[in-house]
């Protein structure tokens, strides 16, 4: 059965995170206060948010892949390194990192809130374990299939053509709080049949990169499907690892509010530019 939470009057959540709560001033905030983009460490921004102030989180955290190995970009061999933020600190420290930011996400989520976390095998096993350790209830693992993945240059294993997205709720089983799942909307989008958990989407095209490029950018269609399924108009979406701001663009397209955070100044400015355009601001 579909479960829908009823939106209730409240302050703009994007405006609630500010210097008065210990956060830095947003890099950008929409004129109507429905969206804000912060440049800084996610720990600072998450700590600035009130308890139970966010309806849904969609995020793409570091995969810890920057290990000086090779990858293929536009048909050419390149270093896989993306930045210091993507370097592994060792298995135990990487897991402690995931558990810490997920604990803050749990605090800011409303009682029926849900979280989506994208990842590959390098990170989603740790994320899944941390979610269970913290008491989240995992609802689905979504398999995102890429129709045209980059080739495997090492030729010692199969080509990596999928990523996983874990979907979990803060509400425990049997709780009076019921997470949003717009079942009928998903069924209609799938020609009247129940939607499966294997989704096929192409990587972002040139139109999604006209403001600039990010090495781990996700397609808007993928994020929009997640948010259509798990949120209602007017609800608050958070992304503590915003990258180029795709989560925010998807949220604004669907009439949701948005709070974003990105530690890299270059990508934070890129995200702000995309969000500004999504709001119709110049």
CA angle at 57 for the pair 25 and 15, rounded to the nearest 5° = 30
The percent of residues in the chain predicted with pLDDT above 70, rounded, is 83
Q: What is the pLDDT of residues 68-94, one digit of tens each?
A: 455 555 555 555 556 666 677 889 999
pLDDT in the model for residue 150: 82
In a domain, 214, yes or no: yes
Q: What is the CATH number of the domain that holds 49?
A: 3.40.50.150
CB 115, CB 136: distance < 8 Å: yes
Domain-located, residue 2: no
Indicate the average pLDDT of the chain.
88
Across the range 127-141, mean pLDDT stands at 98
Residue 243 forms part of a structural domain: yes
Is 145 a domain residue? yes
Give the distance, in angstroms, between the CA of residue 20 and the centroid of all CA atoms in the same chain.
Answer: 26
- Does a structural domain hold residue 28? yes
What's the total number of domains in the chain? 1
What pLDDT was estimated at residue 216?
Answer: 86
Q: What is this structure's pTM? A: 0.87
Domain membership flag for residue 174: yes
Whether 8 is covered by a domain: the verdict is no
For residue 222, give its domain range: 13-278
Q: Assess if residue 212 is contained within a domain.
A: yes
Residue at token pair 């890099």? 27
* CA 277/CA 270 separation, integer angstroms: 11
């Amino acid at each position: 059965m579909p479960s829908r939470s009823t939106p209730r009057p409240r302050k703009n959540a994007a405006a609630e995170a500010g210097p008065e709560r210990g956060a830095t001033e947003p890099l950008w905030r929409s004129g109507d206060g429905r969206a804000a983009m912060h440049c800084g460490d996610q720990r600072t921004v998450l700590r600035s948010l009130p308890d139970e102030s966010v309806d849904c989180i969609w995020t793409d955290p570091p995969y810890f892949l920057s290990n000086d190995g090779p990858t293929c970009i536009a048909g050419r061999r390149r270093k896989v390194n993306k930045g210091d933020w993507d370097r592994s600190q060792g298995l135990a420290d990487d897991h402690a990192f995931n558990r810490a930011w997920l604990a803050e996400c749990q605090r800011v989520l409303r009682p029926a809130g849900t979280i989506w976390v994208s990842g590959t095998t390098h990170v989603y096993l740790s994320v899944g374990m941390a979610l269970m350790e913290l008491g989240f209830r995992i609802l689905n693992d979504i398999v995102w299939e890429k129709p045209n993945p980059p080739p495997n240059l090492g030729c010692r294993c199969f080509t990596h053509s999928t990523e996983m997205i874990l979907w979990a709720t803060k509400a425990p089983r049997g709780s009076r709080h019921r997470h949003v799942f717009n079942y009928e909307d998903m069924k209609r989008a799938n020609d009247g049949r129940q939607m499966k958990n294997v989704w096929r989407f192409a990587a972002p095209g040139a139109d999604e990169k006209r403001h600039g490029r990010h090495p781990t950018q996700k397609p808007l269609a993928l994020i929009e499907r997640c948010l259509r399924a798990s949120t209602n108009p007017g609800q608050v979406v958070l992304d503590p690892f915003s990258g180029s701001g795709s989560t925010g663009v998807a949220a604004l397209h669907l009439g949701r509010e948005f709070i974003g955070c990105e530690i890299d100044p270059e990508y934070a400015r890129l995200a702000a530019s995309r969000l500004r355009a999504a709001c119709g601001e110049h």
